[in-house]
Amino acid sequence: MTTIGPPTAVPRRPAHRALLYQTQDDYAAMVVPFLLDGLEAGQSVWVAAPVANLETLRAELGDPPGLCLVDARDWYLRPARTLWAYLAFIDGQLAEGRSAVRLTGELHWPGDDQRLAREWLVYESVLDGLLAGMPVEVLCTYNQDLVPAPALQEVRAIHQGATGPGATVELPLPGGVGTARFEPLDVVGAVAHVEGRARRAGLAEADVQRLAAAAAEVLWDASERGPGRTAISTWEDGRDFFCQVEPGTAPAVDPMAGYLAPGHSAAAGWGLWLARQRSDLLEIGARSGGLAVRLRARLSRSRRPRPGAPRPVR
């Protein structure tokens, strides 16, 4: 069992730590005292964990008031949405008069979906800045037998004060994918283009509208940066539908952009945050030295063809 937290000269417990464990005994030995301390102090305590861990906690703690247990598979669906849900929960508990909030979470690791796994690491890396000055403690748990070793190295670095995945992710296009170019950028026409391609690919109508709304936010954000050429590529691989936007004149953007909502009085900066909320996955990276924003949406199960090579949507 390994416990990780950012170093500090002040002898206090860091607000955001990680527990790397292998056995249920290791898990219980660290998590149960963490939760009991919060409950005894009258704090609100939230746990999102795999079913086996929830059963361990129920056996140790019973069902005390102030404790909320949630299946991690129902909570850790999309990084940006989970982050916003946590913020809403914290704000609600503090507004109700709780002195502090304790959170224990173990995300449902996305298997071989490396793109989504990277975004979960980006999500982890924004928590320190988000929690600064707030009466919140977070204990992130990771089963070392389920998470790949390279990802565990990233987890260790993040919880020791690093800012998260350092290298800019490359977003190359699959071979044979067609690209539409808008010069100057016509946001309404570009969104209609994305919507038509998504519908033709077999995306469920509700998902078509969510994706179109996300693409609109990205495109409006691009239009505010300049009127230059914007390229839009769409394709699907049998499981997912993709839309990649490449603003020709846009500068590089922090991969963490859009994870935190702008202040209520801010007139700008909402586009990428809204796009993250509305898409299954949003990645910010580079292609051919320029900015690329990739949106992904799951094809509906009832209409999903068998996986195969990526093919363009025409």
Task: Supply the pLDDT for residue 10.
Answer: 36
Amino acid at 224: E
Residue 178: pLDDT band by 50, 70, 90 thresholds? Answer: confident
Task: Supply the pLDDT for residue 236.
Answer: 92
Task: Supply the pLDDT for residue 25.
Answer: 93
Residue 149: pLDDT band by 50, 70, 90 thresholds? Answer: very high
Residue 273: pLDDT band by 50, 70, 90 thresholds? Answer: confident
Task: Supply the pLDDT for residue 241.
Answer: 95
Amino acid at 63: D
Task: Supply the pLDDT for residue 260.
Answer: 74
Q: Which domains does the chain have, with CATH numbers?
A: 2-159 (3.40.50.300), 179-312 (3.30.565.10)
Handedness of CA 204, 120, 45, 84 (dihedral sign): negative
CA 201, CA 34: separation in Å to the nearest integer? 48
| Residue predicted with more confidence, 225 or 293 | 293
In 297-308, which positions are buried (b, 16+ CB within 10 angstroms) versus exposed (e)? bebeeeeeeeee
SS3 content of the chain, % helix, strand, coil (to 5): 40, 25, 35
pLDDT average, residue stretch 53-79: 93
Strands (E), 50-183: 67-71, 101-105, 136-143, 179-182
The fraction of the chain above a pLDDT of 70, given in percent, is 83
CA 289, CA 37: separation in Å to the nearest integer? 50
pLDDT average, residue stretch 47-60: 96
CA angle centred on 214, ends 213 and 215, rounded to 5°: 90
pTM: 0.77
Local structure of residue 170 (DSSP, 8 states): B
pLDDT in tens, 226-268: 667 899 999 999 899 999 999 876 566 676 788 877 765 455 5
Q: Which tokens go with 180? A: 């539409």
- The number of C-alpha atoms within 13 Å of 180 and in the hemisphere containing its C-beta is 19
Q: Which tokens go with 2? A: 């390994």
Q: How far is CA 102 from CA 134, 150, 174, in A?
A: 11, 28, 43
CA 243, CA 259: separation in Å to the nearest integer? 19
How remote is the C-alpha of 233 from its chain's centroid? 23
Task: Supply the pLDDT for residue 227.
Answer: 62
Q: Which tokens go with 76? A: 């850790």
How remote is the C-alpha of 267 from its chain's centroid? 24
| Residue predicted with more confidence, 159 or 267 | 159
